Structure 1
Amino acid sequence: MTVIQVDGVFNVRDVGGMPTESGRIREGKLLRSGSLVAATDTGIAELHKRVAHVVDLRDGKEVAAAPSATKTIATTHLPLFLGSVASFFDNDLSLEQMYRQLLEESGERLVDAIRVIARGESTLVHCTVGKDRTGVTVALALAAVGADRDAVIADYALTASQLPEERNRKIVMFLETQHPEAKHAVALATLSPAEVMRSMLDEVDERWGSAAEYLTMNGLTDAELADLRTALVED
């Protein structure tokens, strides 16, 4: 994986290069990031060099409050959470509980996002921070094509180190004021522990057989799965 500097956008990287069962993930095909709301003209130009299609996993309210700075890259909007982002903090869910809820309730939307990746265009997947919705989507896509599990987990875990310190400081202060009794709020907003993603992928295997089987059970066809492998894996 390669961290990429895009002016005004944080947590940007290309997941290409990680080993798979039969080769490695292609570089330049699957990128991930936080939202594009603050991308500068220089940042937008860099995105245009690298990205043909954007998958925005935020809901309508998030998009309205923080619209993407670029309107010229083809974008598919796929709100991944069935509930609001605020509800996860209100209910004090752990990261494990949030990801389980995504798997159980948003399977068809996850498949829709992965269908875009399977088209083979250079695709950027993002949400607000690029940690949870993006992390689950990218991890499932990579696991479904046989990417090395430790590499998938390491990619997820990298996010915490890519979040701006000032952003974290402000959001922690806000959460401590708004949710003083919450046990999981800070972790939800700022952390990406490797063990959480390992646990999620293990649970996918235990409950559905594999990431590929999870996706097919939620509507991905065998042909689309083959397209995903072709798009992402080089021998």
Structure 2
Amino acid sequence: MSESHSSVPNLRDLGGLPTEDGATTSYGVLFRSAMPSAEDRGLDGVPWPPSLVLDLRSSAESGPDHPLAGAGATVRQISLLEALRPDGPQSASPEVVARMASGGLEALYLGMLEVARAELAQVATLVADHDGATLLHCAAGKDRTGVAVAMLLRTAGVERDAVVKDYLATGAAMDAVLQRLRLAPPLDVSRPAPRSYLAIPQEAIDAVLDVWDAHPGGTAGWLHDAGAEADVIDRVRARLVD
């Protein structure tokens, strides 16, 4: 591969994170990133691309051909914010859509838990069912990816503080992310995202974690209520934890 090729923006392996029972997450199983290109390289010493890629963008953003499909990855598109598109298939009241569109990232994330429950359960199922490495990405690898990754990590028992730290780690990659986003079409061309959406506010991910922590069954219980089978939840932990 050409020396001029660069790493995927905001790419990281989610291995080595501590769980509440003293274990750690496995390396080489779950990755997160901003949107990749065909010219990107992965992390040093790690086969690229992962064999399963979950693209959390809408079809309007991604177009017909994913850049990693030609490199041998199986790509599945699971859009988490279809409710914000004028023709999006997710069911949401106008009030929820308005709150998600203009209420800041905390409102966006909480709305995602409401309108994309089935899709988040599908993410968990695909990760649980896949034997190889999986990459989750959206456009920036920050918001949709951040919520989905947080759900997977908390389902696997990762300590809350470690999940927050991983979310905030995107801050160090924002310059590269912004360069990549300049090439990306917006989710809805009639309603460009406000600049405040470039922030990485801890209170936004804390609000999501609070919802799951308040559920009688924790994140796993919330995920089960969202449609994930009990064995899927068990297998997410088995896949992600050493």
SS in 1 for 2:18: coil
SS in 1 for 2:63: helix
> Given the superposition, is the C-alpha separation of residues 83 and 166 from structure 1 closer, same or farther in structure 2, using an over 3 Å criterion?
closer
Equivalent residue in structure 2 for 1:128, among 139, 157, 165: 139
Distance 2:226 2:169 in 1: 28
| Residue 79 of structure 1: aligned partner | 79
SS in 2 for 1:83: helix
Measured after TM superposition, the shift of residue 91 of structure 1 is 3.5
Distance 2:118 2:100 in 1: 25
Instruction: Decide which moves more: 220-229 or 88-97.
Output: 88-97
Aligned residues: 219
Equivalent residue in structure 2 for 1:150, among 161, 172, 197: 161
Task: Give the gaps of 5 or more residues in structure 1.
Answer: 1-5
Measured after TM superposition, the shift of residue 118 of structure 1 is 1.0
| Residue 28 of structure 2: aligned partner | 28
Mapping of 1:48-63 within 5 angstroms?
48-49=47-48, 51-63=50-62
| Residue 194 of structure 1: aligned partner | 202
1:67-116 superposed Cα distances (whole Å, 9 cap, x missing partner) = 42542211111111122369779942211100111101110100101111
Equivalent residue in structure 1 for 2:116, among 106, 118, 122: 106
> Given the superposition, is the C-alpha separation of residues 113 and 46 from structure 1 closer, same or farther in structure 2, using an over 3 Å criterion?
farther
Task: Give the gaps of 5 or more residues in structure 2.
Answer: 87-96
Distance 2:65 2:78 in 1: 15
SS in 2 for 1:115: helix
Contact 1:7 1:39 in 2 (8 A): no
TM-score computed with the length of structure 1 as normaliser: 0.81
Measured after TM superposition, the shift of residue 208 of structure 1 is 5.5
| Residue 89 of structure 2: aligned partner | none
Contact 1:35 1:130 in 2 (8 A): yes
SS in 1 for 2:57: coil
Measured after TM superposition, the shift of residue 7 of structure 1 is 2.0
Measured after TM superposition, the shift of residue 13 of structure 1 is 0.3
Q: Percent identity?
A: 29
Measured after TM superposition, the shift of residue 147 of structure 1 is 0.2
Measured after TM superposition, the shift of residue 145 of structure 1 is 1.4
> Given the superposition, is the C-alpha separation of residues 198 and 28 from structure 1 closer, same or farther in structure 2, using an over 3 Å criterion?
same
Distance 1:148 1:113 in 2: 20
* Higher-helix-fraction structure: 1
Give the RMSD, CA atoms, in angstroms.
Answer: 3.2
| Residue 241 of structure 2: aligned partner | 233
Contact 2:20 2:157 in 1 (8 A): yes
Distance 1:47 1:88 in 2: 42
